[in-house]
Each structure stands twice: as structure tokens, then as C-alpha cells.
Chains A and B, each alone.
Chain A
């Protein structure tokens, strides 16, 4: 069973361009989470999605950022009109369910996409 896949691993964009980050969850996982890690900092939650639904986007910047997890295909994190402050590592995680008792299950993390904005 392949782990969580993210691509590209490295992405370079100029200011004002769009960045599209892809995440393929582990097989059988229907929950996807996106996190952002700035240099020398921990990971910060951005958004939690299930298939075709955004469950919690409380960590997403209100402008320029959007995420989707379509019925078919990978989850996409889209950043429009990138700025230098968007440079970071973006990690995706997936989990199979909310857990047997209805609580959170463990998350499996992908290798991350490192975005550099010039």
C-alpha cells in the first residue's frame, strides 16, 4: 500500500503566479488534511476535507487559497497570485475514518511540497 503521495516535491513560482499542489491519499482513506510549515516552525493546520466536502477550513487564509477533494482524483491546494510569504513546505495527511469511537484517527503524512516564491 503506497503511502500518501504529494507532487510536485519542489515548486518554484514567481510572484503573482498560481501554485497548484496535489495530494493523493493512501488507498482507502477518505479524509485529507493540509498543513503549512514555515522555516523553523511547526506545522499549522490549514484545511480538512472529505470527498467533495470541506469540513474545516479555519486555518486557511481568507484570500488566494482554496482547496478541493473531488470524487475522483487527488486533493488540490491552490494558491493564487503567490507572494514571497507563501514560501513554505506544504504537507498533506490522510486518515481512513474518524476512528472507531467517533474520535480522530491517526494521520499519515506525505513527504511535502516545498514551494519557493521568487
Chain B
């Protein structure tokens, strides 16, 4: 059974801090891993997608890494801003487009 766990469940930091969100998965035979952002009452916005053959992906202040052998991914956010406040979801894809989501990390960046 594939399980995806995200730690911490919630995080509150002052503006400007660098921070790391963690995602772990039980079955390492993944096809890819994707990080999403979800704002309250809204849908999901894709942030970064890492193919199983890749080690990391970068987009602006965001960097996601993938270690398949240990079943872990991290999302690094540099110089956090209040606008980064949202819930961040990790999703693992094994086959046939079936996404397995973690419960998310709720981030609050204080001005």
C-alpha cells in the first residue's frame, strides 16, 4: 500500500527565513513526484514536477529534491514571503496517472 507522509503538518516562520518541507513515501517505484500549492478554498497549483530519473528541480525561490532510494523528497523555499502562506501538498505518481497525496504542510509566513 502506497503511503505519503508530510512533515511538519504546520509551520509558522517569520518573513525572510529559508525553510524545508518534507515528504516521504513507502514505495520507491515511483514514476514522478509533484509538489502543489493549495490556497484556502481554492484548487491546486502545480509548483514542481520531478521525474524519477531526476534528483532535483528548481523554479525561482523553490527547489525540490528527490531521493528515491530513501523514499524522500524535500521542498526548499528560500527567502520566504507572506504570499507563500498556503498548504503545500506532495503527490507521488506510480502508474496510470494515479496520484497519491500527502496530507500537506500548512505554511504561515508572518510579515
Q: Which of B1-41 contact A (CB under 8 A)?
A: 4, 6, 31-32, 34, 36, 41
Q: Is A48 an interface residue (CB 8 A)?
A: yes
* Tally of A-B Cβ pairs under 8 angstroms: 64
Complex contacts, A93 vs chain B, CB 8 Å? 99
Contact residues on B (Cβ < 8 Å of other chain), bracket: 20 to 34
Who on chain B is nearest to A45 by CB? B98
Partner of B97, one of A31, A41, A109: A31
Q: Is A111 an interface residue (CB 8 A)?
A: yes
Distance in angstroms from B47 CB to nearest chain A CB is 11
Q: Is A43 an interface residue (CB 8 A)?
A: yes
Interface majority SS (helix, strand, loop, mixed), chain B:
strand
Partner of A107, one of B6, B41, B97, B100: B97
Q: Is A54 an interface residue (CB 8 A)?
A: no
Contact residues on A (Cβ < 8 Å of other chain), bracket: 20 to 34
Q: Is A106 an interface residue (CB 8 A)?
A: yes
Contact check, A106 vs B34: say whether CB atoms are below 8 A apart: yes
The 8 nearest A-B residue pairs measured at CB:
A42-B101, A104-B97, A111-B43, A109-B44, A43-B101, A42-B103, A109-B43, A104-B93
